[in-house]
Amino acid sequence: MSPRTASRFIASASVAALLALLTTAPLGGPVAAKSPPATYVVQGVPGVELDVLVDGDVVESGVAPREVVGPLDISPGSHTLAFRSPDWEVSKSVDVAGSQDVVVHWPADAADEPIVTVFSNDVSAIGSDKGRLTVAHTAVVPPADIQANGQTLFTNIANGEFISAEVPATTYRVAVVPTGGGKPLLGPVDLKIEAGALTRVFAIGAPRDASMDAVVQVLPLPTSGGGTPKSVDTGSAGLVNPDGSINLARQSVWALVAAVFGWWPAA
Amino acid sequence: MRHSAPVTLTAVAVLLGGCGGAGSGATSSTDGEHPSAAGETSAGAAAVAKPAPSQVRAEPPVSVTFPSGRVLPVDPAETLPDGALAVPQDIHRAGWWTGSSRLGDPFGSVVLAAHVDSFSQGVGPAAELLSARPGDTVRLTGRHLAQKYVITSVRLVPQADLRRRSVVFSAAGDRRLVLITCGGTYDASLGGYQDNVVVVARPAKR
Protein backbone atom coordinates (compact mmCIF):
# COMPACT_ATOMS: atom_id res chain seq x y z
CA MET A 1 0.00 0.00 0.00
CA SER A 2 1.55 3.27 -1.05
CA PRO A 3 1.63 6.02 1.53
CA ARG A 4 -0.94 8.04 -0.35
CA THR A 5 -3.29 5.11 -0.67
CA ALA A 6 -2.76 4.54 2.99
CA SER A 7 -3.77 8.09 3.74
CA ARG A 8 -7.25 7.37 2.43
CA PHE A 9 -7.53 4.68 5.03
CA ILE A 10 -6.20 6.68 7.93
CA ALA A 11 -9.62 7.50 9.28
CA SER A 12 -11.05 3.99 9.11
CA ALA A 13 -7.89 2.36 10.36
CA SER A 14 -7.61 4.80 13.22
CA VAL A 15 -11.25 4.28 14.17
CA ALA A 16 -10.65 0.55 14.21
CA ALA A 17 -7.58 1.06 16.39
CA LEU A 18 -9.58 3.35 18.63
CA LEU A 19 -12.36 0.81 19.02
CA ALA A 20 -9.82 -1.86 19.86
CA LEU A 21 -8.32 0.49 22.42
CA LEU A 22 -11.67 1.34 23.95
CA THR A 23 -12.79 -2.25 24.23
CA THR A 24 -9.59 -3.31 25.95
CA ALA A 25 -9.00 -0.24 28.10
CA PRO A 26 -10.13 -0.55 31.72
CA LEU A 27 -12.71 1.89 33.02
CA GLY A 28 -11.72 4.80 35.17
CA GLY A 29 -9.32 7.60 34.38
CA PRO A 30 -8.94 9.17 30.97
CA VAL A 31 -8.02 6.65 28.34
CA ALA A 32 -4.32 7.04 27.78
CA ALA A 33 -3.51 8.01 24.23
CA LYS A 34 -1.36 5.13 23.18
CA SER A 35 -1.67 5.52 19.47
CA PRO A 36 0.97 3.94 17.29
CA PRO A 37 3.62 6.26 15.90
CA ALA A 38 2.39 8.00 12.77
CA THR A 39 4.37 10.44 10.67
CA TYR A 40 2.55 12.48 8.04
CA VAL A 41 3.99 14.77 5.40
CA VAL A 42 2.16 18.02 4.69
CA GLN A 43 2.91 19.72 1.38
CA GLY A 44 2.74 23.38 2.34
CA VAL A 45 4.46 24.94 -0.66
CA PRO A 46 1.93 26.47 -3.07
CA GLY A 47 2.32 26.30 -6.82
CA VAL A 48 4.59 23.28 -7.15
CA GLU A 49 4.42 19.50 -7.06
CA LEU A 50 7.03 17.78 -4.93
CA ASP A 51 8.65 14.39 -4.68
CA VAL A 52 8.96 13.07 -1.14
CA LEU A 53 12.03 10.98 -0.34
CA VAL A 54 12.74 8.96 2.76
CA ASP A 55 16.38 7.95 3.27
CA GLY A 56 17.03 8.58 -0.41
CA ASP A 57 14.09 6.65 -1.82
CA VAL A 58 11.13 8.35 -3.46
CA VAL A 59 8.06 7.30 -1.50
CA GLU A 60 5.64 9.61 -3.26
CA SER A 61 6.04 11.69 -6.38
CA GLY A 62 4.09 14.64 -7.71
CA VAL A 63 2.63 15.61 -4.36
CA ALA A 64 0.39 18.62 -4.92
CA PRO A 65 0.16 21.61 -2.57
CA ARG A 66 -2.13 21.01 0.46
CA GLU A 67 -1.78 17.26 0.05
CA VAL A 68 -1.14 15.16 3.17
CA VAL A 69 0.86 11.96 2.71
CA GLY A 70 1.01 9.24 5.30
CA PRO A 71 1.31 7.79 7.68
CA LEU A 72 4.69 6.93 6.26
CA ASP A 73 5.85 3.34 6.48
CA ILE A 74 8.87 4.26 8.55
CA SER A 75 10.47 2.87 11.69
CA PRO A 76 11.01 4.94 14.85
CA GLY A 77 14.33 6.75 15.02
CA SER A 78 16.19 9.19 12.83
CA HIS A 79 15.45 9.34 9.11
CA THR A 80 16.30 11.72 6.33
CA LEU A 81 13.29 13.28 4.64
CA ALA A 82 13.81 15.17 1.41
CA PHE A 83 11.51 17.28 -0.70
CA ARG A 84 12.42 17.78 -4.36
CA SER A 85 11.06 20.27 -6.83
CA PRO A 86 12.41 21.14 -10.28
CA ASP A 87 14.16 24.14 -8.71
CA TRP A 88 15.34 23.00 -5.31
CA GLU A 89 15.69 20.16 -2.88
CA VAL A 90 15.59 20.39 0.89
CA SER A 91 16.78 17.50 2.99
CA LYS A 92 16.42 17.25 6.77
CA SER A 93 16.80 14.63 9.43
CA VAL A 94 13.60 13.90 11.32
CA ASP A 95 13.25 11.98 14.55
CA VAL A 96 10.32 9.64 14.02
CA ALA A 97 8.36 9.26 17.26
CA GLY A 98 4.72 9.57 18.24
CA SER A 99 2.15 11.22 16.01
CA GLN A 100 3.61 14.09 14.04
CA ASP A 101 3.36 16.13 10.89
CA VAL A 102 6.43 16.98 8.86
CA VAL A 103 5.58 20.18 7.03
CA VAL A 104 7.53 21.60 4.11
CA HIS A 105 6.73 25.31 3.86
CA TRP A 106 8.15 28.76 3.23
CA PRO A 107 9.65 30.63 6.19
CA ALA A 108 8.26 34.01 7.28
CA ASP A 109 10.83 36.00 5.32
CA ALA A 110 12.03 35.78 1.75
CA ALA A 111 14.12 32.70 1.13
CA ASP A 112 15.39 30.64 -1.77
CA GLU A 113 14.23 27.35 -0.39
CA PRO A 114 11.38 26.17 1.80
CA ILE A 115 12.07 24.88 5.29
CA VAL A 116 10.93 21.78 7.11
CA THR A 117 9.18 21.96 10.49
CA VAL A 118 7.96 19.05 12.58
CA PHE A 119 4.69 19.51 14.51
CA SER A 120 3.77 16.97 17.19
CA ASN A 121 0.14 15.90 17.39
CA ASP A 122 -1.48 15.95 20.81
CA VAL A 123 -3.53 12.76 20.57
CA SER A 124 -4.51 12.56 24.24
CA ALA A 125 -8.13 11.92 25.21
CA ILE A 126 -10.75 14.65 24.97
CA GLY A 127 -14.34 15.19 26.21
CA SER A 128 -16.79 13.54 23.82
CA ASP A 129 -18.52 16.75 22.69
CA LYS A 130 -15.32 18.68 22.10
CA GLY A 131 -12.68 18.85 19.44
CA ARG A 132 -9.05 19.79 19.76
CA LEU A 133 -8.05 22.55 17.37
CA THR A 134 -4.44 23.23 16.53
CA VAL A 135 -3.43 26.03 14.21
CA ALA A 136 0.07 25.99 12.75
CA HIS A 137 1.71 29.03 11.18
CA THR A 138 3.63 27.92 8.10
CA ALA A 139 2.92 30.91 5.87
CA VAL A 140 4.97 33.83 4.58
CA VAL A 141 3.40 36.35 6.94
CA PRO A 142 4.38 38.03 10.21
CA PRO A 143 2.90 36.85 13.51
CA ALA A 144 -0.84 36.44 13.29
CA ASP A 145 -3.96 36.10 15.40
CA ILE A 146 -6.73 33.59 14.85
CA GLN A 147 -10.30 34.80 15.09
CA ALA A 148 -13.25 32.48 15.54
CA ASN A 149 -16.75 33.88 15.02
CA GLY A 150 -15.32 37.39 15.17
CA GLN A 151 -13.58 36.90 18.51
CA THR A 152 -9.85 36.52 18.98
CA LEU A 153 -9.19 32.95 20.00
CA PHE A 154 -5.40 32.84 19.63
CA THR A 155 -2.84 35.63 19.57
CA ASN A 156 0.62 36.28 18.22
CA ILE A 157 1.59 33.07 16.45
CA ALA A 158 4.81 33.27 14.45
CA ASN A 159 6.01 31.15 11.54
CA GLY A 160 7.06 27.74 12.81
CA GLU A 161 4.79 28.01 15.86
CA PHE A 162 1.45 26.48 16.67
CA ILE A 163 -1.31 27.00 19.21
CA SER A 164 -3.97 24.65 20.44
CA ALA A 165 -7.21 24.61 22.42
CA GLU A 166 -10.13 22.33 23.13
CA VAL A 167 -13.34 23.84 21.82
CA PRO A 168 -16.98 22.81 21.47
CA ALA A 169 -17.52 20.70 18.37
CA THR A 170 -19.28 22.94 15.88
CA THR A 171 -18.56 25.00 12.78
CA TYR A 172 -16.62 28.21 13.27
CA ARG A 173 -16.09 31.20 11.03
CA VAL A 174 -12.31 31.42 11.18
CA ALA A 175 -9.95 34.13 9.99
CA VAL A 176 -6.21 34.66 10.20
CA VAL A 177 -5.44 38.32 10.85
CA PRO A 178 -2.16 40.16 11.42
CA THR A 179 -1.33 40.52 15.10
CA GLY A 180 -2.08 44.12 15.89
CA GLY A 181 -4.85 44.46 13.34
CA GLY A 182 -5.39 44.76 9.63
CA LYS A 183 -7.21 42.98 6.87
CA PRO A 184 -7.51 39.20 7.16
CA LEU A 185 -4.57 37.29 5.69
CA LEU A 186 -6.84 34.30 5.20
CA GLY A 187 -10.59 33.86 5.49
CA PRO A 188 -12.96 34.20 7.07
CA VAL A 189 -13.80 30.62 6.13
CA ASP A 190 -16.03 27.99 7.71
CA LEU A 191 -14.10 25.41 9.70
CA LYS A 192 -15.89 22.39 11.10
CA ILE A 193 -14.42 21.05 14.32
CA GLU A 194 -15.38 17.43 14.75
CA ALA A 195 -16.15 15.97 18.16
CA GLY A 196 -13.57 13.57 19.55
CA ALA A 197 -11.00 14.51 16.95
CA LEU A 198 -7.90 16.59 16.48
CA THR A 199 -8.32 19.16 13.72
CA ARG A 200 -5.04 20.61 12.54
CA VAL A 201 -4.97 23.68 10.36
CA PHE A 202 -1.77 24.68 8.59
CA ALA A 203 -1.77 28.20 7.19
CA ILE A 204 0.45 28.15 4.11
CA GLY A 205 1.48 30.38 1.24
CA ALA A 206 1.94 34.11 0.92
CA PRO A 207 -0.38 37.08 0.47
CA ARG A 208 1.90 38.71 -2.11
CA ASP A 209 1.08 36.16 -4.77
CA ALA A 210 -2.39 35.40 -3.39
CA SER A 211 -1.30 31.89 -2.48
CA MET A 212 -2.51 31.98 1.13
CA ASP A 213 -4.33 28.77 1.83
CA ALA A 214 -5.01 26.26 4.58
CA VAL A 215 -4.38 22.56 4.92
CA VAL A 216 -6.80 20.81 7.25
CA GLN A 217 -6.01 17.42 8.72
CA VAL A 218 -8.33 15.52 11.06
CA LEU A 219 -7.23 12.67 13.34
CA PRO A 220 -9.60 10.74 15.62
CA LEU A 221 -8.92 10.90 19.37
CA PRO A 222 -9.89 8.72 22.31
CA THR A 223 -12.56 10.34 24.45
CA SER A 224 -12.60 10.93 28.18
CA GLY A 225 -15.34 11.43 30.71
CA GLY A 226 -17.66 8.56 29.79
CA GLY A 227 -20.34 10.81 28.29
CA THR A 228 -22.60 13.44 29.84
CA PRO A 229 -23.78 12.29 33.28
CA LYS A 230 -27.42 11.33 33.58
CA SER A 231 -27.31 11.75 37.33
CA VAL A 232 -25.14 13.25 40.04
CA ASP A 233 -25.89 11.60 43.36
CA THR A 234 -24.18 13.69 45.97
CA GLY A 235 -25.98 13.00 49.22
CA SER A 236 -27.54 10.16 51.09
CA ALA A 237 -28.10 10.91 54.74
CA GLY A 238 -30.65 13.73 54.63
CA LEU A 239 -28.77 15.75 57.20
CA VAL A 240 -29.12 19.04 55.34
CA ASN A 241 -32.32 21.08 55.02
CA PRO A 242 -33.29 22.67 51.71
CA ASP A 243 -32.03 26.04 52.99
CA GLY A 244 -28.61 24.60 53.79
CA SER A 245 -29.07 24.43 57.55
CA ILE A 246 -28.42 21.20 59.43
CA ASN A 247 -31.47 19.03 60.05
CA LEU A 248 -31.04 18.69 63.79
CA ALA A 249 -33.47 15.81 64.22
CA ARG A 250 -31.76 13.63 61.62
CA GLN A 251 -28.35 14.84 62.72
CA SER A 252 -28.88 13.59 66.28
CA VAL A 253 -30.20 10.24 65.06
CA TRP A 254 -27.27 10.00 62.67
CA ALA A 255 -24.79 10.79 65.47
CA LEU A 256 -26.34 8.08 67.62
CA VAL A 257 -26.28 5.48 64.84
CA ALA A 258 -22.78 6.55 63.83
CA ALA A 259 -21.61 6.13 67.40
CA VAL A 260 -23.13 2.64 67.56
CA PHE A 261 -21.54 1.57 64.31
CA GLY A 262 -18.21 3.07 65.21
CA TRP A 263 -18.23 5.78 62.53
CA TRP A 264 -17.97 8.59 65.02
CA PRO A 265 -16.12 10.87 64.84
CA ALA A 266 -15.55 10.42 61.15
CA ALA A 267 -16.44 13.94 60.11
CA MET B 1 -7.03 45.85 24.36
CA ARG B 2 -5.21 44.67 21.31
CA HIS B 3 -4.05 41.50 22.91
CA SER B 4 -7.22 40.75 24.82
CA ALA B 5 -7.13 37.00 24.69
CA PRO B 6 -10.37 35.40 25.81
CA VAL B 7 -8.49 33.40 28.37
CA THR B 8 -7.11 35.47 31.22
CA LEU B 9 -5.61 33.18 33.75
CA THR B 10 -3.10 33.58 36.46
CA ALA B 11 -0.18 31.95 34.76
CA VAL B 12 1.62 30.78 37.81
CA ALA B 13 3.79 28.71 35.53
CA VAL B 14 5.62 31.82 34.44
CA LEU B 15 6.50 32.73 38.00
CA LEU B 16 7.61 29.26 38.90
CA GLY B 17 9.55 29.00 35.70
CA GLY B 18 10.09 25.90 33.63
CA CYS B 19 8.09 23.50 35.77
CA GLY B 20 8.35 20.38 33.72
CA GLY B 21 5.94 17.54 33.73
CA ALA B 22 2.82 19.38 32.67
CA GLY B 23 1.40 19.55 29.21
CA SER B 24 1.51 17.15 26.35
CA GLY B 25 5.18 16.42 26.61
CA ALA B 26 5.38 17.03 22.92
CA THR B 27 6.29 20.65 23.38
CA SER B 28 9.21 22.41 24.89
CA SER B 29 9.02 25.27 27.36
CA THR B 30 7.54 28.44 25.94
CA ASP B 31 7.69 30.88 28.78
CA GLY B 32 10.13 33.15 27.15
CA GLU B 33 10.61 35.54 24.34
CA HIS B 34 8.93 35.27 21.05
CA PRO B 35 11.30 33.35 18.84
CA SER B 36 11.84 35.04 15.52
CA ALA B 37 11.39 31.96 13.41
CA ALA B 38 11.74 28.26 13.42
CA GLY B 39 14.48 26.54 11.52
CA GLU B 40 17.35 27.71 13.65
CA THR B 41 18.28 24.36 15.03
CA SER B 42 21.51 22.62 14.17
CA ALA B 43 22.15 22.14 10.49
CA GLY B 44 20.58 19.11 8.99
CA ALA B 45 17.85 18.54 11.53
CA ALA B 46 14.34 19.67 10.77
CA ALA B 47 13.03 22.43 13.01
CA VAL B 48 10.67 21.33 15.75
CA ALA B 49 7.65 23.59 16.03
CA LYS B 50 7.19 25.53 19.25
CA PRO B 51 3.91 26.55 20.83
CA ALA B 52 3.23 30.26 20.57
CA PRO B 53 4.05 32.16 23.78
CA SER B 54 0.35 32.89 24.20
CA GLN B 55 -0.42 29.18 24.43
CA VAL B 56 -2.39 28.39 27.59
CA ARG B 57 -1.73 24.91 28.87
CA ALA B 58 -5.09 23.89 30.21
CA GLU B 59 -5.01 21.47 33.11
CA PRO B 60 -7.36 19.58 35.40
CA PRO B 61 -8.32 21.36 38.62
CA VAL B 62 -6.67 19.92 41.71
CA SER B 63 -8.39 21.95 44.43
CA VAL B 64 -11.37 24.20 44.95
CA THR B 65 -11.82 26.88 47.57
CA PHE B 66 -15.41 27.47 48.68
CA PRO B 67 -16.70 30.93 49.69
CA SER B 68 -15.98 30.17 53.35
CA GLY B 69 -12.33 29.55 52.54
CA ARG B 70 -12.70 25.80 52.95
CA VAL B 71 -10.46 23.96 50.48
CA LEU B 72 -11.39 20.62 48.95
CA PRO B 73 -8.98 18.49 46.92
CA VAL B 74 -10.37 17.61 43.50
CA ASP B 75 -10.19 14.13 41.95
CA PRO B 76 -10.95 13.20 38.32
CA ALA B 77 -14.41 11.63 37.99
CA GLU B 78 -15.83 9.66 35.07
CA THR B 79 -19.40 8.97 34.13
CA LEU B 80 -20.18 5.33 34.94
CA PRO B 81 -21.89 3.03 32.42
CA ASP B 82 -25.23 3.60 34.22
CA GLY B 83 -24.89 7.33 33.61
CA ALA B 84 -24.07 8.34 37.18
CA LEU B 85 -21.10 10.60 37.75
CA ALA B 86 -18.58 8.81 39.97
CA VAL B 87 -18.34 11.50 42.63
CA PRO B 88 -15.71 10.75 45.33
CA GLN B 89 -17.32 8.94 48.26
CA ASP B 90 -15.28 11.04 50.67
CA ILE B 91 -17.34 14.12 51.53
CA HIS B 92 -14.12 16.09 51.96
CA ARG B 93 -13.19 15.71 48.31
CA ALA B 94 -14.77 16.99 45.10
CA GLY B 95 -14.90 15.25 41.73
CA TRP B 96 -14.12 16.92 38.41
CA TRP B 97 -15.99 15.38 35.48
CA THR B 98 -13.20 14.49 33.06
CA GLY B 99 -15.47 15.10 30.06
CA SER B 100 -15.90 18.74 31.08
CA SER B 101 -13.67 21.72 30.50
CA ARG B 102 -10.35 22.14 32.23
CA LEU B 103 -8.84 25.12 33.94
CA GLY B 104 -7.64 27.27 31.04
CA ASP B 105 -9.96 25.97 28.34
CA PRO B 106 -11.55 28.86 26.44
CA PHE B 107 -15.14 27.60 26.54
CA GLY B 108 -17.60 25.51 28.50
CA SER B 109 -18.30 24.27 32.00
CA VAL B 110 -15.72 23.07 34.47
CA VAL B 111 -17.97 20.62 36.31
CA LEU B 112 -17.27 19.78 39.95
CA ALA B 113 -19.46 17.70 42.28
CA ALA B 114 -19.20 16.87 45.96
CA HIS B 115 -21.36 14.97 48.43
CA VAL B 116 -23.39 17.16 50.74
CA ASP B 117 -23.45 14.39 53.34
CA SER B 118 -23.05 10.66 53.81
CA PHE B 119 -24.14 8.05 56.31
CA SER B 120 -20.57 7.30 57.27
CA GLN B 121 -19.20 10.85 57.47
CA GLY B 122 -22.15 13.10 58.27
CA VAL B 123 -22.50 16.61 56.88
CA GLY B 124 -19.89 17.62 54.33
CA PRO B 125 -18.28 20.94 53.43
CA ALA B 126 -20.40 21.13 50.29
CA ALA B 127 -23.41 21.91 52.48
CA GLU B 128 -22.36 25.54 52.43
CA LEU B 129 -23.18 25.67 48.72
CA LEU B 130 -26.89 25.53 49.58
CA SER B 131 -26.64 28.93 51.23
CA ALA B 132 -24.12 30.42 48.82
CA ARG B 133 -25.18 33.70 47.21
CA PRO B 134 -24.44 35.50 43.97
CA GLY B 135 -21.31 37.56 44.49
CA ASP B 136 -19.59 34.98 46.65
CA THR B 137 -16.26 33.84 45.26
CA VAL B 138 -14.86 30.41 44.52
CA ARG B 139 -11.28 29.69 43.56
CA LEU B 140 -10.03 26.86 41.42
CA THR B 141 -6.40 25.84 41.19
CA GLY B 142 -4.47 23.47 39.00
CA ARG B 143 -0.81 22.58 39.16
CA HIS B 144 0.17 25.84 37.48
CA LEU B 145 -3.01 27.78 36.83
CA ALA B 146 -5.52 29.42 39.15
CA GLN B 147 -8.80 31.18 38.53
CA LYS B 148 -11.14 33.12 40.76
CA TYR B 149 -14.84 32.88 39.98
CA VAL B 150 -17.82 34.91 41.15
CA ILE B 151 -21.04 33.03 41.80
CA THR B 152 -23.85 34.22 39.53
CA SER B 153 -26.61 31.79 40.46
CA VAL B 154 -27.53 29.13 43.01
CA ARG B 155 -30.46 26.96 41.98
CA LEU B 156 -32.25 23.84 43.09
CA VAL B 157 -32.76 21.66 40.04
CA PRO B 158 -34.88 18.48 40.14
CA GLN B 159 -32.40 15.64 39.64
CA ALA B 160 -34.17 14.40 36.54
CA ASP B 161 -33.83 17.83 34.90
CA LEU B 162 -30.13 18.29 35.52
CA ARG B 163 -29.07 17.06 32.13
CA ARG B 164 -31.51 19.32 30.32
CA ARG B 165 -29.94 22.49 31.68
CA SER B 166 -27.38 23.20 29.01
CA VAL B 167 -25.40 25.51 31.26
CA VAL B 168 -24.50 22.57 33.47
CA PHE B 169 -22.61 20.16 31.25
CA SER B 170 -22.22 21.91 27.90
CA ALA B 171 -18.79 22.37 26.35
CA ALA B 172 -20.17 25.46 24.59
CA GLY B 173 -20.66 28.97 25.85
CA ASP B 174 -18.49 31.24 27.93
CA ARG B 175 -16.20 29.47 30.32
CA ARG B 176 -17.65 28.94 33.75
CA LEU B 177 -17.47 26.83 36.87
CA VAL B 178 -20.44 24.64 37.80
CA LEU B 179 -20.55 23.17 41.31
CA ILE B 180 -23.05 20.41 41.97
CA THR B 181 -24.20 18.85 45.20
CA CYS B 182 -27.48 17.49 46.54
CA GLY B 183 -30.25 19.35 48.31
CA GLY B 184 -33.92 20.13 48.40
CA THR B 185 -36.51 17.90 49.97
CA TYR B 186 -35.18 14.69 51.47
CA ASP B 187 -37.47 11.73 50.95
CA ALA B 188 -35.90 8.41 51.84
CA SER B 189 -38.74 6.52 50.15
CA LEU B 190 -37.94 8.30 46.86
CA GLY B 191 -34.22 7.72 47.08
CA GLY B 192 -33.18 10.64 49.27
CA TYR B 193 -32.57 14.20 48.14
CA GLN B 194 -34.88 15.16 45.30
CA ASP B 195 -32.84 17.99 43.87
CA ASN B 196 -29.38 18.94 42.84
CA VAL B 197 -27.97 22.22 43.98
CA VAL B 198 -26.33 23.87 40.99
CA VAL B 199 -23.98 26.77 41.59
CA VAL B 200 -22.82 28.63 38.48
CA ALA B 201 -19.81 30.93 38.76
CA ARG B 202 -18.16 33.10 36.13
CA PRO B 203 -14.50 34.15 35.95
CA ALA B 204 -13.85 37.22 38.09
CA LYS B 205 -13.04 40.37 36.14
CA ARG B 206 -9.64 41.69 36.91
Nearest by CB to B123, from A119, A127, A239: name it.
A239
Mutate to test the interface with B, among A41, A122, A232, A245 (most CBs of B within 10 A): A232
Please indicate if any CB of chain B lies within 8 Å of the CB of A94: yes
Which is more confidently placed, A118 or B119?
A118
Residue range A32-90, pLDDT digits in tens: 445 567 999 999 999 999 999 999 999 999 999 999 998 999 999 999 999 999 999 99
Instruction: With a cut of 70, list the residues of chain B below it in pLDDT.
Output: 1-43, 206
Provide the ipTM: 0.79
Residue of B nearest to A146 (CA): B5
| Cα dihedral B153→B156→B157→B162 (10° resolution) | 60
Alpha carbon B16 to chain centroid, angstroms = 21
Neighbour-count burial for B135-173, b at 16+ CB within 10 Å, e otherwise: ebebbbbbbbbbbbbebeebebbebeebbeeebbbbbee
What tens digit of pLDDT does each residue of A74-103 get?
999 999 999 999 999 999 999 999 999 999
How far is B132 from chain A, CA to nearest CA, in Å? 9
pLDDT tops 50 at residue A203: yes
User: Is residue B73 within 8 Å of B57, Cβ to Cβ?
Assistant: no
CA distances for A7 relative to A45, A71, A105, A242, angstroms: 19, 6, 20, 58
The per-residue pLDDT for A244 is: 86
What is the pTM for the complete model shown? 0.80
pLDDT at B19: 29
Check residue B21 and give its pLDDT.
31
Q: Which is higher by pLDDT, A10 or A227?
A: A227
pLDDT tens-digit map of A216-251: 999 999 999 999 999 999 988 889 998 889 998 888
Instruction: Give me Rg for the CA atoms of chain B.
Output: 20
Under the banding of pLDDT at 50, 70 and 90, the label for residue A259 is confident
Rounded alpha-carbon distances, angstroms, from residue B87 to A222, B75, B78, B118, B195: 22, 9, 8, 12, 16
List pLDDT tens digits, range A122-148: 999 999 999 999 999 999 999 999 999
Q: In this complex, is the C-beta atom of A21 within 8 Å of any C-beta atom belonging to chain B?
A: no
pLDDT at position A36:
66
B residues 76-95 near A, CB within 8 Å?
A: 76, 78-87, 91
At position A261, the amino acid (one-letter code) is F
The answer to whether B97 contacts chain A (CB < 8 Å) is yes
In SS3 terms, chain B reads as: CCCCCCCCCEEHHHHHCCCCCCCCCCCCCCCCCCCCCCCCCCCCECEECEECCCCCCCECCCEEECCCCCEEEEEEECECCCCEECCCCCCCCEEEECCCCCECCCECEEEEECCCEECCCEECHHHHHHHCCCCCEEEEECCCEEEEEEEEEEEEEEHHHHHHCHHHHCCCCECEEEEEEEEEEEEHHHCEEEEEEEEEEEECCC
